[in-house]
Structure formats: C-alpha cells, structure tokens
A and B are shown apart, each in its own frame.
Chain A
C-alpha cells in the first residue's frame, strides 16, 4: 500500500534506455533530446523542469507513447512500451494533458467513469468494482462532493482534480501530467501538487509532471529532471540539482540569478551601484526587494556604499551623497531611490 511495501524485485514504474526524442520527417531525424537515461520508482514524484522549447512536451509525449522515439527504449512497469496494446497501455499509464476539456452535460462522476475505459467491456458497462474504483478515485482527489455536478460548470482547479481522478480510475502504475498547473490560480496549484504528493505517499503510484512552477516543484518533488540547453538531462533530489548549479545554467538569463536558499530567482542587480541596509526583519527584506528592483546591489558590510538606508519602526531614511530623506511607504522609498542621480562607482572611488 505504501512505498515501503514495494518488493525489491518489482520493476521500476518507468525506465528509459538511451532514449532520443524528436521529430522525424521523410529524410531525416531531428533529435531534441538524446541519450536520456532516467527511471521512476514506485511511489516517487518526479517534476520535469526546463526552459520553454527545450523538449519537455516532446519527452512527455514520447514517454506516453503519443510520439515514437527516434532511438532507444521506454519500459513501463517492466514491459517495453511499444509491445503494449492500447488498453494495456491505458491500464498502466494515466495521462492528464494541458488542454482544456470542454464538455457540457456530463456529470463529474461520468467523466471519472470514462477512466474505466480500458477495464470495461464492449459497451462500456460498469461492474460493481468499476463503480467502487470510480468512487475511490473521486474521494482520493477530494472531489466526492462534486460527483453529481455538471463537469462544464465547475472551476478550473476542480476540473483538473477531476481529470486526475479520471486518470486514477484507470488504476495506472504511472501518472503523467503535462503542465497540470498551467491554468490554475496559486492556491489551486499548491493544492494539486499536495494532492499528487499525497497520492505517491499513500500508494505505489508514481507521478511524472512537467511544470514551469520552479519553486513549487523544488519544494514538492522527490526527484527533479532538469533539461539543459544542449540536450543534457540532470536528475536528482531537488537539493542535489540546486547545489549542482544546474538550475542557473538552465534558466539564467542576463537579468536574473537563481538563489538556492530561496528556491527562486532574483533580479541581477547592481547597475546603479550598491546600497547598504541597516535594520532588519521583514521591513528590511522589503526594503531590499525595493532596492534590488531599482537596480541596487545590497551589501551587508564592507566599505560604506554611496546609498544607505536606515529602518526605524515604520520609517525609512535614505542617505545618499550627503543628502537625507525619510518616509513611511515603500512606494515613496522607490520613488526617492529612483530620483537619486546615477553615478558610476568609479567616479565615487576617485
């Protein structure tokens, strides 16, 4: 029932061997990613990260047999993926796609029951056990109260949970989700990720999802697959990947830098010189955010820079070039900092 109970000889949920994904035309094969060797254990939550256009969707589509690999192999629960029949595949792999589903006049329970497709007979009649699995799936995603609602009239977040329940009703070994949080607001995103995490903890289900939500992925996943420009795949626990510096390589542009301790990006700053903040706490952090946004690098100690900000209670005081200004809102602070004339560091040094 849980990850601990998995017998060691059970094959992993997913293994790839020297997989190359990409597109083939009549004349040539154009690989987007090559030599991909990854595996997913039962009860593991994997997040696939990488900048746009690097091949996340192509990889997901290939793993889900929606696209043929250029070379190499994919094994799902110990079987080569191309050897599975359509319904054998659907019994092992549940998929949630990015596309919005527009269906009217179909109740949530019926949508979830469609997930029994690979298990039911010719006419799709459902057995007692099929109904039980549908109820279980609805309950597992916390959507039992929606069961009799019209699928076309529930919120985006609820709809995505129902699509997960539908995939669970297939009783898959592996659940694959392509940017499942794309249309969702922040609480729904966190909720959905929490749900997927709980599913991997409570059963042997393995989950692979692609996402742009870096911070949430780094906080939630067991394993990160990070696609780098050039076609390399870095895998490991979120912490392994962060400390390796690979995230900076994958995402960094000229204006942002990844800060592992915060699991997020910050503006690359300092084009207007440096500033020192004295007085800490939450307000200190806010002042720092304002200064970075305005182009100052914040330094803690060392040579006193041209601009320094003092925080007392709810007031800030900026000293720059011998002038002083004070105020209480961050907006006023930003406006004031912006009004300080730009001066090259070299000039002040000389």
Chain B
C-alpha cells in the first residue's frame, strides 16, 4: 500500500496544497482578528465606567507606570481590571462549555443552560447560601474569604453534575438527542423551581439579592476570587484544548468515533465534567449568564467556515471573551443611573443568533 500512496501523492499534492493553504489563511486571519478585537474590547472596558479615566492613564496603569493619580489607578486596578478579566474568562468558559455540549449531543441548540447545568449550579448555590445562613450579599458582594468561595464553587459544580448525571442516565436509555435536550430543559426547570421555593420561604431582602444575582454580573469577582475562579476556568479550558482530537471524531457520532479508536465513554465523561465545571464556576461567581454558551460557538463556525475543533477551540475562547466584554460594556449604557442587567444584554445579543440558526438549519444538518 505504501508505494501506492507515494505515487498517488505525487499526482495529487500540488492542487490540494493550494486550497489547504487558502483555508488555513482564512483561519489564521480570523484568529488574528479575534486577538485584536479582544485586546481592543479589553482596553475599552477599562476606559469606560462611571468615572472617566483617559485611555493614556489606563495604559500607564497596565504598564505599572507611577504617573497616574491614585484614585484612577485604584478604580482600574481594584474594580475594572478584575471585572474585565472575569468577563474574558467567563465568556471563554461559557463558549467552550457550549461548544462541547453541541458536539457531544450533536445538537446546535445545546448549551450549559439547555442541559440544566446552569440551573443545577444555581440550585447548589442557593442551597449553600440559604442553608448556611449566609446572606447572598455577603456571598456575592463583600469578600467572604477563600473557604466560603471554595464551598460555593463546590456546591455549584455538585449541583451541575447532579443534574447532568440524571440527564446522562436517562440519555443512556433514550437514543434521540432531541429528547435528551428536552429532558435537560425539564430538569433545569425543576432545579430553578426548587431555587424559587427556597427563596420564597426566606426573607424578602434575600429574594432581592438572589434576583440581582440572577441578572448576572462580572463585577462581584474580586482579585481574591479571581485567584480561585481563574485556575478552575483554566483547568476546564485546558481539558477542552487537549480533547480537540476526540471532539473532532465525535462529530461523526459516537459509533463512528468508537470505530476509529476513541474511548467514547471516557471522552464523554471528561467532556461533560469539563463543561459542567466551566458552566458551574461561572454561574457561582457571575450568576446564570444566558445565551453566550449557545451563540459564541455558532458565531465562530460562521466566521471560520469549519467545525474543526483545533481551530474552533481557540476561536471560541477569544470570541467568548470579546462578546462578554462587549456585553459588559453595553450594560454600562445607563451611565450614572446604574447598569443594565447583564443577562438582558446577552439575551439581546443571543436571541437573534438562535433565531438565525433555526432559520439557517438545512436538511440533514444536525438532524435532531
């Protein structure tokens, strides 16, 4: 067979090499563009806010120059910088979790929300917050110390995994991915309902606080919390990065993936674990943020024209960061009157994307 291969290669390689190059060029251009967009959005989110800080000062702060007045430096260092970093990480995390779920379930509408991960995480958070007697404000507002934060993350991940485990157990019996998705939604509703009941039997001010958390925000994450939030996110993103090969094979479905040598069960468990970790950690710290997870992977596929995860994973990380930063910047629009709920902004971006996907879905594509 080898001699055949060599001679065939001589015949066919020239024209093929050209087209491969043009695809690779497009992918490189998109990734480079996303890097630029991410840097621009990042700086912009540091510049904009209730107090005006000129862009030159922002850059000075970033470069650790001492010429900036102390109050501006304080605003940027202790408020805007962690907020921007949180937005980037959360956007990347939700985008990757969405991508993993979409590939695993071979369903374009799968995301951490649709499968109940976010609701499960909310449930875990609500139980810890309401059960431990901590007020939501102490958890999501002021600093509670690393132990409290770790407990919160653990609760969120446990809640997410609990819902996911039920969905998985049922999906082993039900072959139809659409059914699995609907089941995920149902479990999600159930978890949300339990949260509502828990809140309902607690005091009115806690209701307000939990509602505010439900709006979603990148502002509650301090440097101290970032020291927990960032590593967990990096682990999740790293898991996605090392599993691009498996995810690509899974595009053909689990049976084909198995026939090509994928340890399907392990790949499925690891992917779900990674996705729920990412979805849960974001939910714990920023609230249940809607639509980013579903929209970002689709935007990337559209930009790149490929489902290849080797390109998609970095693109989703970058674009997720960009979209989250933009959403955060847009939420500042009311100016001194306060901020828009982040979830309102992401949904306004996300809903049209979902509509567009539904209208674009052609015959056979992701047939559910």
Contact = CB atoms under 8 A, between A and B. Distances in A.
Q: B-side binding surface: helix, strand, loop or mixed? A: helix
B4 interface: yes
Nearest to B13: A135
Given A105-B307, A124-B248, A132-B8, A114 B16 contact: no
B224 interface: no
Contacts of B261: 86-87, 89-91, 117-118
Contact of A136 (B8, B20, B249, B366): B8
Interface string A134-169: 011011000010011000100000000000000100
Range of interface residues on A (Cβ < 8 Å): 35 or more
A167 B13 CA distance: 21
Contact of A102 (B9, B248, B301, B367): B367
Nearest to B260: A117
Given A90-B261, A97-B255, A147-B16, A104 B307 contact: yes
B263 interface: yes
Interface string B18-38: 011001000000000000000
B259 A133 contact: no
Contact of B16 (A91, A105, A109, A115): A109
B135 interface: no
A292 interface: no
B253 interface: yes
Contacts, number: 119
Contacts of A109: 16, 20
A66 B262 contact: no
A62 to B, nearest CB: 14
A136 B252 contact: no
Nearest to B305: A105
A133 B19 contact: no
Interface string A109-122: 11100110110101
Interface in B227-266: 242, 244-245, 248-249, 251-253, 255-256, 258-263
Contacts of B366: 102, 104
B12 A139 contact: yes
Nearest to A119: B261
A254 interface: no
B4 A100 contact: no
B364 interface: yes
B305 A93 contact: no
Given A1-B4, A102-B364, A114-B252, A97 B259 contact: yes
Contacts of A131: 9, 13
A101 B256 contact: yes
A123 to B, nearest CB: 6
A141 to B, nearest CB: 12
B9 A132 contact: yes
Interface string B177-195: 0000000000000000000
A27 B242 CA distance: 41
Given A97-B259, A101-B253, A139-B8, A114 B364 contact: no
Contact of B244 (A106, A124, A144, A147): A124
Contacts of B5: 129, 132-133, 135-136
B73 to A, nearest CB: 42
Given A105-B307, A106-B307, A203-B1, A124 B245 contact: yes
B: contact size bracket: 35 or more
A99 B106 CA distance: 14
Given A1-B3, A102-B106, A90 B9 contact: no
B133 to A, nearest CB: 47
Interface string A224-268: 000000000000000000000000000000000000000000000
Given A132-B5, A203-B1, A152 B365 contact: yes
Contacts of B251: 103, 106, 114
Contacts of A117: 245, 249, 260-262
A120 B305 contact: no
Contacts of B19: 147-148
B56 interface: no
A97 B13 CA distance: 30
A102 B251 CA distance: 8
Interface in B79-131: 106
A58 interface: no
Nearest to A171: B1
A55 to B, nearest CB: 19
B245 A170 contact: no
B1 A107 contact: no
B13 A95 contact: no
A99 B257 CA distance: 13
A136 B9 contact: yes
Nearest to A95: B259
Contacts of B301: 104-105
A111 B144 CA distance: 50
Contacts of B256: 95, 97, 101
Contacts of A99: 253, 255
Contact of A124 (B13, B259, B310): B310
A114 B12 contact: no
A43 interface: no
Contact of A144 (B12, B248, B258, B263): B12
6 contacts: A99-B253, A118-B261, A122-B242, A136-B8, A147-B16, A170-B260
Interface of B: 1, 3-6, 8-9, 11-13, 16, 19-20, 23, 106, 242, 244-245, 248-249, 251-253, 255-256, 258-263, 301, 305-308, 310, 362, 364-367
